[in-house]
Amino acid sequence: MPDALLALILSHLPGESLAAVVASCQACRQLLPHVADVAVGHLGIPLPAAQKSCEPIARRIEYARRMSARSRCSLAAGRSFSLCISSSGHLFSWGVDVDDDYGVPDDPDELGSPGGAVEQLHRCFVGHLGHGSLWGQAERLPRALVALPQVVEVASGRFHCLLLASDGRLYSWGTGSFGQLGHGDRRPQPRPRHVQGFDGHAVQVACGHDHSLVVSSDGEVFSFGRGNLGQLGQGQMGMRAVPARVCLPPPPSQSVSTQSSSTVSAERVVHVAGGLFHSLAVTDAGDLFSWGSGTNGRLGHGDTIMQLRPRRVAALQSPRIVHASAGCGHSLAVSDKGELFSWGQGHNGRLGHGNQETKMSPALVQGLLGHVIVRAFAGWEHSVALTREGVLYAFGAGDHGALAQAWEEPATPARVCALGDDGACDVAAGAEHTLVRTRAADVVAFEWGLGSQPGARRAGHKMLPLHVFKAV
């Protein structure tokens, strides 16, 4: 059989099967470099670098396949603004923050406001909308950002945003008060700007309140921005204005003497999430790591101790975790069996356990047993779970219509019926609003609708969704 044909056949084998064939066939083993090129060439993701000399190429191929096939975030919900990627890869933004407590970014003079504090009284900071102006009026309808490459993923924090281009380049814009844009300074960016300090190939992006997280094609995590409570995972508190690698500890069974945790991560990361003052990471082995502020037990370690570096969540070592989300003071995790776990601050019933108790360790959400959860989304004080069938369940604070449920706050998961027969394929949970993308590419918003953000309409004691636009 010609080598090219054999390499093509081998390139379609699952990672474990490929490893078994290579182990028993010398000819196949010699073809491995070519097999790797064929296997990942069409994925748009480079083959990750070997973590150590003896790491099988088959494992590296499997990681590239997994990251290429994962569900990407096409929606982002900030404090009171929204982002959406259309099916054609164009990015749209709308809204602005007009709340007196949050509507003015930190150090407005530093942000380039021509009138300083006086200017704030007449115009809003709109740099996070990405249309070229730092100060101006709200965008009440979705508006496309221009001069961008094809966008495949987007994330938003309080006043800053990240996007991932199809070629793996990282862009950021908005306020840079804490270095969360990664450009080496604290200046704002009114348009998306390439983060030159990150020279790898990004495969996932996430934003905390004022910090940023990026996963590279090698399965490593990079963080930058505000780190006053350890949310950067760099081993110290403080701001960092350029991307820096976050090192995960080796597996418990691995001797520290054989591999230093300060130089290389023992597992590849497949997903990251940022909250107010904490961060989460899921590895290809199904482990969950958390770091940052431990207030209210949001890290899941059974205490409230701050963690300056990633620490494995021991309570979730049995179920294999595939997805996680971080909110204001709570955390969510989804297992490969479709189970949802929640922990941290329980106020407003955001944990879904039928009460408002704080949980120091992950607890199974009993109200969703029998449903296969594929992803979960932690908003400021509410949570949303997405099932395999595209059905949404919501719980927690709903006083702004963020849950599309009754005005009261459900402490157990309640099905979101307002979508009708349209199944959901993506969700973004913001501070006080929720965005949903249906399988028909319709984007709808559930929110209070007061101010500049396109909002839900109140009918009696329920919030009706507003159709924002068709994201094709």
User: How do residues 28-72 score in pLDDT, each as one tens digit?
Assistant: 777 777 777 777 777 878 888 876 666 777 788 888 888 888 889
Q: Is the pLDDT of residue 403 over 90?
A: no
| Paired sense of beta strands 340-344 and 359-364, if any | antiparallel
The verdict on 326 and 182 lying in the same domain is yes
Return the pLDDT at 111: 45
Return the pLDDT at 47: 83
The verdict on 45 and 101 lying in the same domain is no
Helices (H), 70-212: 117-120
Q: Is the pLDDT of residue 136 over 90?
A: no
Burial code (b: 16+ CB inside 10 Å, e: under 16) for 221-249 equals bbbbbbbebbbbbbeeeebbbbbbbbbbb
pLDDT band for position 121 (cuts 50, 70, 90) = very low
Q: Report how far Cα 258 is from the mean position of its chain's Cα atoms.
A: 32
Return the pLDDT at 449: 34
Return the pLDDT at 456: 38
Q: Is the pLDDT of residue 426 over 70?
A: yes
Return the pLDDT at 399: 54
Q: Give the highest mean pLDDT range of 131-140, 445-454, 457-466.
A: 131-140
The verdict on 144 and 243 lying in the same domain is yes
* Domain of residue 405, residue span: 75-470
The verdict on 191 and 280 lying in the same domain is yes
Residue type, 170: L
CB atoms within 10 A of CB 388: 12
Q: What is the mean pLDDT of the chain?
A: 85
The verdict on 61 and 87 lying in the same domain is no
pLDDT band for position 253 (cuts 50, 70, 90) = low
The closest of 267, 304, 305, 257 to 289, measured between CA atoms, is 267
Where among 42, 69, 96 does a domain terminate? 69
The verdict on 83 and 58 lying in the same domain is no
The verdict on 114 and 12 lying in the same domain is no
Dist CA 379 CA 432 (whole Å): 8
The domain total for the chain is 2
Structure tokens at 197: 């300090």
Are 63 and 46 contacting, i.e. CB atoms less than 8 angstroms apart?
A: no
Range of lowest pLDDT (54-68, 436-450, 452-466): 452-466
Dist CA 61 CA 38 (whole Å): 10
Where among 69, 99, 127 does a domain terminate? 69
Are 171 and 163 contacting, i.e. CB atoms less than 8 angstroms apart?
A: yes
Return the pLDDT at 63: 85
Write the pLDDT tens digit of every residue in 367-391.
999 999 999 999 999 999 999 999 9
Structure tokens at 320: 């294999």
Residues forming beta bridges with residue 290, ordered by sequence position: 280, 311
